[in-house]
A and B are shown apart, each in its own frame.
Chain A
Amino acid sequence: MDVALSRTPRPGEVSPAESLSVLAQVLLALRSTTDLGTACAIAGSSAIQMLEATDYRLLRVDLRSGALRAFDESGVESPYLAEQGGPVERVMRCETPTFDDGSTDAARESRLWLQNPAALVTAPLLAGGTVQGVLLIAFDAPRAFTATDRLLVLTLADALALALDREDLRRTLREERQRAARLEQRVNEGEESSSGMMSVVAHEIRAPLTAIKAYTEALIDNVSNPHSPRERFLGIINDECDRLTRLVSDILDLSRLEAGQRPLRLGRLNLEHLVRETLEAMQPMAAARKVEFDLDLEPSLLPEGDPDLLRRLLMNLVGNAVKFSPIGGRVKLHARARGEEWLGVVKDDGPGIPREDLPRVFERFFRSRQNRDQDVEGTGLGLAIARGIVDLHGGRIWAQAVEPHGTRFCFSMPLRQMASARARGLARQVWNRVDVRELFDHTVEMVTLALDAEIVSLMLVDPDQGDLFIAASRGLEGQSLLGRRTSIRSGVAGSVAAWGQPLLVNNIETDRRFRRLNHPQYRTKSLLCAPLRVQGEVLGVFNVNNKNSDVPFDEDDLSVMSALVERVASAVERAIAHPDSPRLIADAIGAVKSVTRLKRECVLGGHDVVHLARAVGRQLELSESEIDLLGYVASIHDVGMTEVPGRAVNRPLDPREIEELERHPEISVEILRPLEYMAQVREVILGHHERWDGSGYPRALSGEGIPLGSRVIAVVDAFDSMTRGRPYRSPRTRDAAIDELRRESGRQFDARVVEALIQVLERQEVEK
């Protein structure tokens, strides 16, 4: 529990000495406790005791959405939206406490109390330069606040804010540790399974090779021997070559399936047709064992799927069933619709698989004991391939034992490849709001300019049909957008929607997942695609094609794009959580438009700056998420410049203009506030004109007191500005710029960052 509420007032006089001792206890408790719930309860009840208040509340800022959350006594949190014009909203904006003594009829956040308090203290909990939450202390009678009262409240708020901040840090640290542990485990498992896989594959390949080698040698040694059964030996060699071929092609197929996250070539399939076609192909094999097929297929079952893959799935399952059937046995096939899915069953009356082996039969090269006793040929990969195919369709597959003997293989997959019901519901909420649609349109514009792309489109989940349609686009003017729809799991956009991971394709023609040849939309063959994720569901996909400069997109582009899209998504998330607060989207649109203007008007924050900032981050061995943050900030930190008058004048600035210019970090933060959920981003932006020696602005921070990200941006910006030149200053050479950075090391710049940049630049020079 993060916050405890107390409703027990403690009447009676409190002497300053008592107050002091209570305060000391509170501070000690807040500093030493790891249980924040208890600490907050202590802080709250102490506040009531010291100030003779009646009640208190603690609101906490949710770090991702920026929304306020209130906690009830049982620790359950509920979103809380500050009332317009109320004290909480004011405190959040001004970041200073208010002491409302009850002499006015000011609003007192009616949603928080059963009965409106007569006097109210509202204090921001400030730590690390951001508001962590709000502390409210309520009184049932008007009250004049003394200087001591104020000091008490401020001290308490400070201690609480630090405790909240510390808990955040601890949680982040814990999450990071867990993430690192998970990653490490996954890497280890991957290595193990791939080396295990290699030795198993080697063994499987060596078996047919052994036979081929032995029989060939026997043939050679017995060329003149009239008794050698040459034809039989040649037949065996031929069979073993076939076995080897099947094995190699199965291994390749499986590795393609397991590469995963690839699009399907979807179509509506006549299932009965597909089944009969497959059985026809298997007829010779079935006839050899006198096996007959029983079909029980729901008529007019038209599931959506990849026909080649589904044929292969049936082939593998039916092939197995035939192989394990007794001579003259029957193989039964059922298929029927079940809700939004369809269920397929292939049943044989063979000897069956031991129960303990049933879950393992889908593993590569797994062979049940029963299987090995029989002389049954196969590559050992058929069921692994079947599982891969079902997985790609978003379905599942399992095996059951049949009494008295036999096995039933069942699979179920979606009838239609469409977005989930929850995603459709959210998409409907989003699509019904004109302002959100407008936000999307502006976002597409922003992404187009930010990535210097020719074509950008946003495909959204259709609330009714569950596929994706183009909701907003740039660069597709004059082309018919009607009918430009794509199913989930189909094509690039469909697979990003299905898997929810951003995607960079360097060459659409050679990428083995896609292989789109000569498509006019892919002029540069390189594209980016990022999911729009709201409340954990993918509601749409941003597609970015063709960089105007004709160079392919890279990881830096993908990272900036993902960061921009994530911020828009978090704004949409907040808007859905607070439907009665239309300003949220309007403010987000304002921010998006400002970034668009920055990209259109200025050369600031271009790809070079992003690239250098990320490279320096890597050189400094920052974590991936820190590097992403650095690249994102590099691309948008100067958005405040769009509001500075005279920013583009062709001369040095006068003192008044310089003063205005120096406000731009704060203006940037202000502009981006509606989109930004990370306090860290705000801090890095705010600090990017601080100087190592403390002579920078706006806060004259110095040394390590300046966030590392800000120090990196400062150096990279300076380098970019020097080498690119400004309207009133001609560009310098790279070497001259490096000399200047070295001169300012330890004065304007962090020497470690300058060194890192120089190393990056030197490496780039070598690579050229």
Chain B
Amino acid sequence: MAKGKILVVDDEIYIVHILDFSLGMEGYEVLTALDGEQAIEKARAEHPDLIVLDIMMPKLDGYETCKVLKAGDDTKNIPVILLSAKGRNVDQKIGFEVGADDYITKPFSPRKLVERINALLGQTSSNRMQA
């Protein structure tokens, strides 16, 4: 039985592949999307437990995608980790303003990403139980 369902969104296919592998090894079920529009579709259809979202993408970028997700009733409770090559403070600030739950800069360690995911999912699970 999978630990949870995670949607990975990045326009760099190699990054999607490696996250698929790493999270798969951790026991997660992994869904993938290559741009923001696809991501919103899949989030609505599949209700993942967490979304890893790249910022610099064509069509709809990560910020916009995050805003849409956090505004949708059926998607607003899904935790989002933003993933981007941008590492400046101002980007982090925008990230949290659009409602992201965490932020990791590229190049990143897949191991650390898995730790954050575990933490976030643990946190939300306990929150849910309290509710």
A interface, CB within 8 angstroms of B: 202-203, 206-207, 209-215, 217-218, 221-222, 225, 228-229, 233, 236, 240, 369, 372-373, 375
Contact = CB atoms under 8 A, between A and B. Distances in A.
B3 interface: no
B22 A218 contact: yes
A225 B25 CA distance: 10
A134 to B, nearest CB: 66
Contacts of B15: 210-211, 214
Top 6 closest A-B pairs, CB basis?
Answer: A213-B107, A210-B106, A210-B107, A206-B85, A372-B58, A211-B14
Contacts of B12: 207, 210-211
B71 interface: no
Given A214-B15, A372-B11, A375-B13, A209 B25 contact: no
B33 to A, nearest CB: 14
Interface in B106-124: 106-111
B18 A218 contact: yes
Given A203-B56, A214-B110, A229-B21, 8 more contacts: A203-B86, A206-B107, A209-B107, A214-B22, A214-B108, A215-B18, A228-B25, A233-B18
A591 B18 CA distance: 79
Contacts, number: 62
Contacts of B22: 214, 218, 221
A369 B57 CA distance: 11
Interface in B88-131: 106-111
A207 B18 CA distance: 14
Contacts of B108: 210, 213-214
B113 to A, nearest CB: 9
Nearest to B58: A372
Contacts of B21: 218, 228-229
Contact of A240 (B14, B17, B19, B85): B14
Given A210-B12, A222-B25, A369 B58 contact: yes
Contacts of A209: 106-107
A217 B58 contact: no
Contacts of B106: 206-207, 209-210
A218 B109 CA distance: 9
A199 to B, nearest CB: 9
B109 A213 contact: yes
Contact of A214 (B18, B25, B58): B18
Contacts of A222: 25
A229 B25 CA distance: 12
Interface SS of chain A: helix, strand, loop or mixed? Answer: helix
Select the residue from B11, B21, B58, B111 with max chain A CB neighbours within 10 A. B21
5 contacts: A203-B85, A211-B12, A211-B14, A217-B109, A221-B110
A694 B13 CA distance: 83
Contacts of B13: 375
Contacts of A206: 85, 106-107
Interface string B62-91: 000000000000000000000001100000
Nearest to A213: B107
Interface in B1-33: 11-15, 17-19, 21-22, 25
Nearest to B88: A199
A236 B16 CA distance: 13
A206 B106 CA distance: 7
A375 to B, nearest CB: 7
Nearest to B21: A218
Nearest to B114: A221
B115 to A, nearest CB: 12
A210 B56 CA distance: 14
A236 B14 contact: yes
Contacts of A203: 56, 85-86
Nearest to B105: A206
B34 to A, nearest CB: 9
B86 to A, nearest CB: 7
Select the residue from A203, A218, A372, A375 with max chain B CB neighbours within 10 A. A218
Nearest to B56: A203
B18 A211 contact: yes
Contacts of A233: 18
Contact of B107 (A214, A218, A372): A214
A391 B27 CA distance: 56
A214 B108 CA distance: 7
A578 B111 CA distance: 83
Nearest to B18: A214
B80 to A, nearest CB: 19
Nearest to A212: B107
A372 B108 CA distance: 23
Select the residue from B14, B17, B106 with max chain A CB neighbours within 10 A. B14
B123 to A, nearest CB: 24
Nearest to B13: A375
B82 to A, nearest CB: 14
B86 A217 contact: no
Contacts of B11: 372
B12 to A, nearest CB: 6
A240 B13 CA distance: 12
A543 to B, nearest CB: 49
A225 B86 CA distance: 33
A530 B86 CA distance: 47
Contacts of A217: 109-111
Contacts of A218: 18, 21-22, 110
Contacts of B111: 217, 221
A234 B58 CA distance: 28
Contacts of A212: 107
Contacts of A236: 14, 17
Contacts of A214: 14-15, 18-19, 22, 107-110
A316 to B, nearest CB: 23
Contacts of A211: 12, 14-15, 18
